Amino acid sequence: MDASLLVDARALQLGGIGRYLREILPRILAAPEFRRIALLGNVQELQAFASGHPSPATLEIIPHPGPLYSLRSQWSWARLRFSGRAAASVAFFPHWDAPLALLPARSVVTVHDLIHFRVPDAFPAWRRPAAGAVFRRVISRAARVIVDSDRTGQDLVEFVPDARDALRVIPLGVSAAFHPLEAEERVRLPVREPFLLCVGNKKRHKNLGAAVDALARLLPSHPELQLVVAGQPYAGWNDVLARATERGVRTHLLDVPAVSDAVLRVLYGRCAAFLFPSRYEGFGLPVLEAMACGAPVVASNTSSVPEVAGQAALLFDPGDVAGMTSAVDRLLTEPAYRATLTRLGLDRASEFSWDRTASRTLGVLQEAMAR
């Protein structure tokens, strides 16, 4: 089959979407389904990436400037379409920043979450109507729409009912970089123990203030405990720091920027518990990463998190600080139960594979191409 694939790879080095691309793109490049693959984005960045991932396909890298969700990127796309360079049997957009005009008829769009529309303080209210109109237009015109979880699929169909037949649920995987620390493995821990760990972009919907409140409740019984929060800061993070100061626990809160997978594995592997108090998630990948490293997980019981965590985490309502505190305290005081939860987490994480994610994504691309 003389099939060709176009991939919008501008998000390659970003956070969550970047992780998704960096995991499935090498597997797509290695597959025999396509004779030609074109990657859109930053030329130098994509050339460096492609050099480490050989492909049987003829590979073309095409400049596509402009940040995600920008007028410049829409203009760049229009120029590519009119020039003929964007022609392909199927186009893959790993986010919903797909073209508003001239979207290829055989397009696959991935929607990782609907945070912009489901969480009031996650997106400026004045921008929501325009963003909603763009989202509906893109989703209603895509040949297939991939979501990471059943819950995200339900949210999407509520928002765009016409997308039901095009919808495909493909869970994410766990990188091989995340696995338990070996007993004899010598690691340099960047923080002192014991500590609780939160991982992810420090956005308002992550509900990190609740983790601070739980820390304040735990310190009288566990005075050496720290809370480590690793991830890029966003609007609202300074409010969390101020809250820690008000609660008298600022010296027990360690603010860590984004770290490498190697450092993150050590943090997961040595934390007393991994906390995930988020109010909304499209999937919740850090939950699986923590489990894969042997961390016992305490997580919110909302959106997609229970679907991902299964029976391998202690779940609580994200507004119930007392419930989160009690769950953490149980892990700190009951070593046998902590070991049980760790074992359950390792088993749960092993059920998720990036190979499976990429294989199923290839299947959806072929579905769209057959239209």
Domain boundaries, the chain: 4-173+353-369, 195-349
Question: Which CATH class for the 195-349 domain?
Answer: alpha beta
- Looking at residue 172, its pLDDT comes to 97
Strand order in the sheet with 273-276: 253-256, 226-230, 195-199, 273-276, 297-300, 314-316
- Looking at residue 1, its pLDDT comes to 58
From the candidate CATH numbers 3.40.50.2000, 1.10.510.10, 3.90.1150.10, 3.30.70.270, the one assigned to the domain spanning 4-173+353-369: 3.40.50.2000
Backbone angles phi, psi at 352, to 5 degrees: -115, 130
Q: Per-residue pLDDT tens for 251-276?
A: 999 999 878 899 999 999 999 999 99
Write down the H helix ranges in the chain.
Answer: 16-30, 43-51, 71-83, 115-118, 128-141, 150-159, 208-218, 237-246, 261-270, 285-292, 305-309, 321-333, 335-349, 354-369
pTM of the model: 0.92
Rounded distance, CA 186 to CA 289, Å?
Answer: 20
Model confidence at 184: pLDDT above 80: no
Please state the rounded mean pLDDT for residues 176-186.
Answer: 84
Q: Which positions ≥6 away from 39 have C-beta within 8 Å?
A: 7, 9, 46, 50, 59, 60, 61, 62
In this structure, what token pair is assigned to residue 2? Answer: 């003389």
Paired sense of beta strands 58-63 and 36-41, if any: parallel
Instruction: Determine the residue type at 5.
Output: L
Paired sense of beta strands 273-276 and 297-300, if any: parallel
DSSP conformational letter for 326: H
Model confidence at 249: pLDDT above 90: yes
**Nearest in space to 86 (alpha carbons), one of 129, 36, 13:** 36
- Looking at residue 73, its pLDDT comes to 84
In this structure, what token pair is assigned to residue 293? Answer: 């490293």
- Looking at residue 359, its pLDDT comes to 96
Between 213 and 99, residue with greater pLDDT: 213
Same fold, 4-173+353-369 and 195-349: yes
